[in-house]
């Protein structure tokens, strides 16, 4: 056995929520490169199928599982049905989430509720549904996608910051309850990465200037730079890592 074999995901089946685009899609591609079989998830079936076809064209083994990660009953039915018909889900990456910006004093209650439902409730619902099967097998990996805003706030995104702080503490709670069953549950917290969802910020010269000056690495991250951390947290290499939040942020949380 070589040390590199610790990172081998061959034969492992990984469900990634919100994986039709952006960080979720990049992580799916990266884990496939480490040998994992993919289960892509999203609400938009057409977009989900297009993403799956693209990855299949690159040689990945891909299944599609369309469900709304915020609908607890739908999540349970989808996960239970997949486990019964297709086999175990060995790895879960809870990536589904959204951003909604606005002054906190004017933030609409319904927008707050929807953001929390998407960013927190989905982690609970999908995590619980998958963990129940993992617990029975005595093993499993769950990676919850946090954020640089898990630790830091910026103007106009207070509810998002609250939601990602909650994801981190839910991650710690999951580890506290489920580590004894052989599960490892950790958080992956990206800094500022270039994706479809951040395109407007990337092209905003003032924001990019602020970010590059604020970040020790002096640049935006590329989504491919999240893959190594995701493979580590999904593999045997992290067998005694539990309840940890791994920041991949170019050093932005390390300095004032």
Q: Which pLDDT does position 35 carry in this prediction?
A: 98
**For the chain, what is the radius of gyration of the CA atoms?**
18
Whole-prediction pTM: 0.97
Domain residues of the chain, as ranges?
A: 3-194+223-248
Query: Using CA atoms, how far apart are residues 44 and 50, in angstroms rounded to an integer?
Result: 10
Q: Which residues are catalytic?
A: 160
Q: For residues 105 and 107, what is the distance between their CA atoms, to the nearest angstrom?
A: 6
- Find the helix or strand (DSSP H, E) in which 169 lies: helix 158-178
Who contacts 192 (Cβ-Cβ below 8 Å, separation ≥6)? 148, 198, 201, 211, 215, 220, 221, 249, 250, 252
- Tokens at 30, concatenated: 């990266």
Closest residue by Cα to residue 129 from 207, 60, 172, 69: 69
The phi and psi torsions of 43 (rounded to 5 degrees) equal -90, -30
β-pairing verdict for 140-145 and 91-94: parallel
CA 144 – CA 8 distance, rounded (Å): 20
Distance CA 175, CA 244 (A): 9
At 196 the pLDDT is 85
What is the chain's pLDDT, residue by residue, as a tens digit (256 residues)?
689 999 999 999 999 999 999 999 999 999 999 999 999 999 999 999 999 999 999 999 999 999 999 999 999 999 999 999 999 999 999 999 999 999 999 999 999 999 999 999 999 999 999 999 999 999 999 999 999 999 999 999 999 999 999 999 999 999 999 999 999 999 999 999 999 888 999 999 999 999 999 999 999 999 999 999 999 999 999 999 999 999 999 999 999 8
**How far apart (Å, rounded) are the C-alpha atoms in residues 42 and 24?**
10
pLDDT at 123: 98
3-194+223-248 is a CATH 3.40.50.720 domain: yes
């Amino acid at each position: 056995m070589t040390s590199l074999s610790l990172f081998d995901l061959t034969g492992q089946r990984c469900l990634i929520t919100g994986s039709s685009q952006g960080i979720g899609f990049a992580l799916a591609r990266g884990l496939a490169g480490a040998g994992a079989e993919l289960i892509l998830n999203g609400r938009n079936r057409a977009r989900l199928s297009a993403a799956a076809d693209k990855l299949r064209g690159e040689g990945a083994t891909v299944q599609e599982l369309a469900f709304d990660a915020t609908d607890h009953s739908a999540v349970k039915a989808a996960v239970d049905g997949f486990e019964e018909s297709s086999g175990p889900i060995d790895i879960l990456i809870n990536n589904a989430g959204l951003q909604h910006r606005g002054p906190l004093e004017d933030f609409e209650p319904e927008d707050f509720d929807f953001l929390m439902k998407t960013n927190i409730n989905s982690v609970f619902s999908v995590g619980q549904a998958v963990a129940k099967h993992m617990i029975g097998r005595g093993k499993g990996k769950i990676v919850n996608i946090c954020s640089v805003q898990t630790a830091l706030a910026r103007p106009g995104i207070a509810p998002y910051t609250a939601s990602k702080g909650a994801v981190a503490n839910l991650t710690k709670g999951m580890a506290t309850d489920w580590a004894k069953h052989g599960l490892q549950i950790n958080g992956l917290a990206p800094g500022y990465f270039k994706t479809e969802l951040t395109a407007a910020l990337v092209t905003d010269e003032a924001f990019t200037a602020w970010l590059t000056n604020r970040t020790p690495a002096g640049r935006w991250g590329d989504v491919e730079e999240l893959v190594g951390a995701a493979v580590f947290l999904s593999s045997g290499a992290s067998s005694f890592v539990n309840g940890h939040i791994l920041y991949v942020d170019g050093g932005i949380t390390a300095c004032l």
